[in-house]
Chains A and B, each alone.
Chain A
Amino acid sequence: MGEISLKLNGELETRDVADNTLLVDFIREHVGLTGTHVGCDTSQCGACVIHLDGVSVKACTILAKQAVGADITTIEGLADGDELHPMQEAFHENHGLQCGFCTPGMVMSAVEMVNKNKDISEDEIREGLEGNICRCTGYHNIVQSVKAGAAKMGGKN
């Protein structure tokens, strides 16, 4: 056990955690932000993707203690008040989800990929979503959503 502090969506969060607490459990159980999902125990599905110091990672495969002092953004931290992030809007407008279980991870992966490469191509989007599995949509609308989101974020493709 031990006290840890990290920044979560702009707020400093300090909690007592066991050494084996996963970051995703810290976010969901300790802080109570349940937008970050858990869909597997093999680190393959990507439902748990968050940004750690601006980089997308699987929160189910990192210990809370490894994230001490980090700056973390989860799906709840993307919108600006009532105004959705352009990538969230694009998923909404392009029907990029059905049940929505994979969506937080999809959106977080998509935002990182477009932040790194605004003029992203369809092939690059498909490659970039390699670590996110969706059981519902068949990916077509997800890829269209990321494309539209990239355009809203200033991309030319």
Chain B
Amino acid sequence: MYSTKYVKPNSTTEALEAIKSLGDGKFLAGGMTLIPTLKQRLASPDGLVDLSGCKLDSIAEEGETLKIGAMARHVSVAESAVVKKVIPALAKLADGIGDRQVRNRGTIGGSVANNDPSACYPSAVLALKATIHTNNRSIAADDFFTGMFETALEDDEIIESISFSKPTKANYVKFPNPASRYAMVGVFVAQFGDEVRVAVTGAGEGGVFRHQEMESVLSSNFSADSLSSVNIDSDGLISDLHASAEYRANLIKEMTKRAVV
């Protein structure tokens, strides 16, 4: 790892000051993506601003939403009584991330800010009509993910929390990569009355995306059978050593069917 500076502020205000004074600084959350990246010398920030002292880890029901602090670790979301009650699919998603030790450190804010095309959380954010609250604005999920590893966040912007809309029903099913457990394809299906949202991760060359055709089919008939007629186009899907675009297209349909119960 290149040499770097480490600071641990006690509030987001101090964190913003710290990142400005560092030049090319980076926020450090769970470190489960950032530290391996630094170890492989794929990045050389002037400094790291640890957000773990900024008290951003609360989880609470707020009216029609479930609000989760950016520093809530995957294990906390997986084991939270409130999450299990209000959106059990989200607890299930968190419980399926990586392995126990990754879940003990990794955070929801880090996962969403990173927008890895194979990460699980972005699909929940998109399907559950979430709002991303930063230190100076609120961004709707539909405007947040702008491409593989790209988001609407500015360089010095901190995600403070994420509010998920409470669905009537929701489910997440992934086909994990057998080695890393990242999603080879993951599908989050959420029903809000007559509206259905289907978000697909692990498959798109541009990162997480909604599948409009499956959404409209499921809105008129919420059943796995109704998906049989849908044709999933492999254009724009990832082809790599793990799976071809055609195989991923097939997995998208299969995972969606399994998610519709």
- Indicate the size class of the contact surface on chain A: 20 to 34
**B101 and A20 form a contact (CB under 8 A):** no
Given contacts A65-B6, A112-B100, 11 further A-B contacts (CB under 8 A): A20-B4, A41-B36, A41-B39, A43-B102, A56-B101, A60-B39, A61-B31, A61-B35, A63-B31, A131-B99, A131-B101
Q: Does A62 contact B (CB under 8 A)?
A: yes
Mask, A13-45, CB within 8 Å of B = 1, is 000001110100000000000000000011110
Closest to B181 in A: A130
Docked-complex contact B99 and A46, CB < 8 angstroms: yes
Interface centre among B52, B100, B105 (most CB of A within 10 A): B100
Known: A57-B101, A109-B101, A113-B100. A62 touches B31 (CB 8 A): yes
Residues of A participating in the B interface, judged by any CB pair closer than 8 Å: 18-20, 22, 41-44, 46, 49, 55-58, 60-63, 65-66, 109, 112-113, 128, 130-132
CB distance from A84 to the nearest CB of B (A): 23
For the complex, give the distance between the alpha carbons of A131 and B100 in Å: 7
If the complex has contacts A41-B40, A66-B31, are A131 and B50 also in contact, measured as CB distance less than 8 A?
no
Return B45 CB to nearest CB of chain A, in Å. 10
> How many Å lie between the Cα of A49 and that of B105 in the bound state?
12
- What are the residues of chain B within 8 A of A41 when measuring CB–CB? 36, 39-40
B139 within 8 A of A: no
Q: How far is the CB of B43 from chain A (nearest CB, A)?
A: 12
A-B contact pairs, 22 of them (CB 8 A): A19-B4, A20-B3, A42-B36, A43-B35, A43-B102, A44-B179, A55-B104, A56-B100, A57-B104, A60-B39, A61-B35, A61-B105, A62-B105, A65-B8, A66-B6, A66-B50, A109-B101, A112-B100, A113-B100, A130-B98, A130-B100, A132-B99
Q: In the complex, which residue of chain B has the Cβ closest to the Cβ of A132?
A: B99
In the complex, which residues of chain B have a beta carbon less than 8 angstroms from the beta carbon of A131?
98-102
Taking a contact as CB atoms under 8 Å apart, the answer to whether B32 and A130 are in contact is no
A132 to B78, CA, bound (A): 20
Within 8 Å of chain A (Cβ to Cβ): is B180?
Answer: yes
Inside 8 A of B8's CB, which chain A residues have their CB?
65-66
Structural contact, A58 and B101, CB atoms closer than 8 A: yes
Chain B residues in 8 Å Cβ range of A60: 39
Chain A residues positioned under 8 Å from B39 (CB to CB): 22, 41, 60
A contact residues around B28 at 8 Å (CB): 66
Q: Is B1 an interface residue (CB 8 A)?
A: yes
Report the Cα distance A138→B6, complex, angstroms.
Answer: 40
A19-B6 contact given A130-B100, A130-B181, CB 8 Å threshold: yes
Chain A residue with Cβ nearest B103: A131
The A-contacting residues of B in range 113-166, CB under 8 angstroms, are none
B85 an interface residue at 8 Å Cβ cutoff? no
Residue from the set A22, A42, A58, A128 with the largest chain B CB neighbour count within 10 Å: A58
Most buried by B among A46, A65, A66, A128: A66
A57 and B50 alpha carbons, distance in the complex (Å): 17
The reply to whether A20 and B1 form a contact with Cβ atoms under 8 Å apart is yes
Smallest Cβ-Cβ distance to B38: which chain A residue: A20
- A49 near B101 with CB under 8 A, answer yes
Q: Does B5 contact A (CB under 8 A)?
A: yes
Interface centre among A18, A61, A62, A112 (most CB of B within 10 A): A61
> Would you list which residues of chain B between 161 and 185 have a CB under 8 Å from chain A?
179-181
CA distance A62 to B104 in the complex (A): 12
